[in-house]
Amino acid sequence: MDRTTGELLGSATRHGGPRPAALALLGVTATGASLLLPAALGRALDLLLAGGGATPWVLCCAGLALLLTLLDAGETVLTGTLDAKTTAFLRHRALGHVLALGPRATARFEAGDLVARVVGGAAQAGAAPGARAALPAALAGPVGAVAALALIDPWLAAVLLTGAPVLTLLLRSLARDTSSCVAAYLDAQGRIAAALTEAVGGARTIRAAGTAARDTARVLRPLPELSRAGRRMWQVQGRAAAQATAVAPLLHIGVVAVAGLLLARHRVSPGDVLAASRYAVLATGVGVLVGQLSGLARSRAAAARLGEVLNAPAPSYGTRGLPADGPGRLELRGVSARRGDRAVLDGLDLVVPGGTALAVVGRSGAGKSLLAALAGRLTDPDAGEVLLDGVPLAALRRSELRAAIAQAFDRPALLGATIEDTVSLGSASPARVREAARAARADDFVRRLPDGYATRCADAPHSGGEAQRLGLARAFAHGGRLMILDDALSSLDTVTERQVTQAVFGRTTTATRLVVAHRASTAARADAVAWLDGGRVRAVGTHAQLWRTAAYRKVFATDTENGTGPGSAPPADTQAEAQAEADAQAEARANARAEDGCGPVTRR
């Protein structure tokens, strides 16, 4: 068991409070009662055979049996509550770490595998404190039985101890083999969950392509491996049980035979023979130990997989704050970022003056979304640093960082119980939510919902464009000094896109705006455009200036060939008019920046 797994299980045990200790105490008490019962039965038998008063001992036996029943019920309840509490603790800790990792989590683990680890894995690992607490009682039974046999007659204990090495090796082999089998089983299970999650997300594509059979086979490809690991697990436990079954009866028969010889020599009484027979059963009954060790091995294997998630380093935060009067100046200095073996961004330098709007364009794979993630500190660069108003993002307090940056994405997650919750995320007033929804052109369709802003997100039908408008409304409501829109306008129709970009690029906000753009019309409305190519900023300028470069026009070539779709430039018959409008808008923005004393977007 590695250090992380041990620490994780130790934390879960401590989180259980007094329950593990209470469970261990109940178990040991029950074991003690089980060890007293054969002695009481033997004494009652001797008294009955002697014709004496055996009633008190019979009542004692009945009391012990009742006590064992109550203790068993208490152990069941306590085990259930302890498992539930520790499972909840592990899930909370794992989920918190996954959310702290952000996009890094799914970069290292498949989404379905993460869910399997956090849900099923945490439940299995959560049973470890209970199994640990029950282990002393499971060990105390055989040890106590051997001691009781020694008290009756040392020869009885000696006979039983002849089989102890065999049983010890059997249990050790069981624990080792079960751990390896469970690890293989959980790994295959995680890969099936990952493939299934991917298939569910792409259900429309699978249906449209008619590849259901092929994708079913792909999802279930690890099933034979899962089956082999499962069969291996049962074989290990079955072999252990068979070996125990072969050894235990021989030891039991040996103890009874020796007890019979001792009885014939009048060294023990009939009641002692009865008690010895019961103690032999307790001493050789390794079934409880097999079950406990198997459960503990499964829990440790699950905890090890959970520990792999927790070992992934989460981003750290500093203690600094932002200048109170900072304009939102964004700066990237020598930023490099890799994805696998590929350098997506290589020594990138960029400065975005406060209050300006920068559109980021480039071909697919140029690193536009990665640049946006770096600017919002959803990930960290491999080299270089990102600064906001002169302060490195990594040095900021977490609360300061998230309050300063608002973000919207191409596929926003609609979190919260209601539409109002998903826009406000608990930080915006109802009036602010509605104002932001109007700016994002979401207010009209939200008001048409059955309960308006109080409509549950799960009950609100919405298209991709409507979801994007809610994501934009959330960014507008959040405010802050930097707004990052990562392809957040891609699903909007042309009219809505133009209306929303007026709010994004207009003078209604003082925030610095970084917009990942695929449409030429979006780039044309920005103060400046950063053109990514080959991992660096190839050029910075207005859309009108860059449009004169043939290579820049090819960035939008796929859509400009037919004049339609996201990223399309104006058709040929309106090209001159659109160019003139863009030039006029660029000149007006340049004049406005000059009046404000705000410098241009630059490369460094």
Instruction: Flag whether 57 is in a domain.
Output: yes
The number of beta carbons lying within 10 Å of the beta carbon of residue 428 is: 20
Contacts of 184 (CB under 8 A, 6+ apart): 225, 228, 229, 232
The reported pLDDT for the residue numbered 602 is 54
Same domain, 250 and 391: no
In this model, does residue 574 exceed pLDDT 70?
A: no
Instruction: Flag whether 161 is in a domain.
Output: yes
Same domain, 398 and 535: yes
Instruction: Flag whether 316 is in a domain.
Output: no
**Tokens 């023979």 identify what position?**
273
Rounded (5°) CA angle 346-351-356 = 135
Span 596-603, average pLDDT? 46
Same domain, 259 and 407: no
Instruction: Flag whether 601 is in a domain.
Output: no
Instruction: Flag whether 320 is in a domain.
Output: no
Same domain, 302 and 427: no
Euclidean distance between the first and final Cα of the chain, in Å?
A: 51
Same domain, 357 and 294: no
Contacts of 528 (CB under 8 A, 6+ apart): 356, 357, 358, 359, 540, 541, 542, 600, 601
Render pLDDT for 364-379 as a digit per residue (tens, 0 to 9). 888 999 999 999 998 8
In this model, does residue 322 exceed pLDDT 50?
A: yes
| Structure tokens belonging to residue 210 | 């008619």
What CATH code is carried by the domain that includes residue 537? 3.40.50.300
Rounded (5°) CA angle 369-372-374 = 110
Closest by CA to 155, choosing from 240, 263, 76, is: 263
Span 215-235, average pLDDT? 87
Give the gyration radius of the chain's Cα atoms: 35
Q: Which of 262, 283, 311 is the last residue of a domain?
A: 311
| Structure tokens belonging to residue 302 | 């699950």
Render pLDDT for 381-392 as a digit per residue (tens, 0 to 9). 999 999 999 999
In this model, does residue 603 exceed pLDDT 60?
A: no
Q: Which of 22-36, 433-447, 538-552, 555-569 has the lowest mean pLDDT?
A: 555-569
Span 286-313, average pLDDT? 81
Greatest mean pLDDT among 25-39, 111-125, 270-284: 25-39
- % of the chain beyond a pLDDT of 70: 88
Mean pLDDT (the chain) is: 84
In this model, does residue 93 exceed pLDDT 70?
A: yes
Same domain, 305 and 335: no
Same domain, 94 and 13: yes
Q: Which residue has the higher pLDDT, 286 or 506?
A: 506
Instruction: Flag whether 458 is in a domain.
Output: yes
The number of beta carbons lying within 10 Å of the beta carbon of residue 486 is: 24
Same domain, 355 and 293: no
The reported pLDDT for the residue numbered 230 is 85
The reported pLDDT for the residue numbered 175 is 67
Instruction: Flag whether 344 is in a domain.
Output: yes
Q: Helices 223-264 and 164-201, interaxial angle, to 10°?
A: 160
Res. 328 pLDDT band, cuts 50 70 90: very high
Same domain, 299 and 337: no
Q: Helices 287-311 and 164-201, interaxial angle, to 10°?
A: 40
In this model, does residue 336 exceed pLDDT 90?
A: yes
Same domain, 284 and 371: no
Closest by CA to 472, choosing from 508, 448, 504, is: 504
Count of the separate structural domains present in the chain? 2
What CATH code is carried by the domain that includes residue 292? 1.20.1560.10
Instruction: Flag whether 491 is in a domain.
Output: yes
Closest by CA to 408, choosing from 316, 333, 504, is: 504
Is 358 within 8 Å of 528 (Cβ atoms)?
A: yes
In this model, does residue 572 exceed pLDDT 50?
A: no
The reported pLDDT for the residue numbered 71 is 94
Q: Is the dihedral of CA 393, 396, 397, 400 positive or negative?
A: negative
Domain that holds residue 590: 330-596
- % of the chain beyond a pLDDT of 90: 37
In this model, does residue 86 exceed pLDDT 90?
A: yes
Contacts of 498 (CB under 8 A, 6+ apart): 521
Same domain, 401 and 451: yes
Q: Which residue has the higher pLDDT, 531 or 338?
A: 531
In this model, does residue 571 exceed pLDDT 60?
A: no
**Alpha helix (H) ranges present in 102-163?**
103-108, 111-116, 122-125, 128-152, 154-161
Gap between the Cα atoms of 394 and 396, Å rounded: 6
The reported pLDDT for the residue numbered 287 is 61
Greatest mean pLDDT among 244-258, 316-330, 506-520: 316-330
DSSP per-residue string spanning 386-424: EEETTEEGGGB-HHHHHHHEEEEESS----SSBHHHHHH
Q: Which of 311, 340, 369 is the last residue of a domain?
A: 311
In this model, does residue 37 exceed pLDDT 50?
A: yes
| Structure tokens belonging to residue 340 | 């696998």
The number of beta carbons lying within 10 Å of the beta carbon of residue 238 is: 11
Span 223-245, average pLDDT? 79
Res. 565 pLDDT band, cuts 50 70 90: very low
Is 345 within 8 Å of 405 (Cβ atoms)?
A: no
Same domain, 212 and 356: no
Q: Which of 269-278, 434-443, 595-604 has the lowest mean pLDDT?
A: 595-604
Q: Which of 279, 311, 343 is the last residue of a domain?
A: 311
The reported pLDDT for the residue numbered 510 is 82
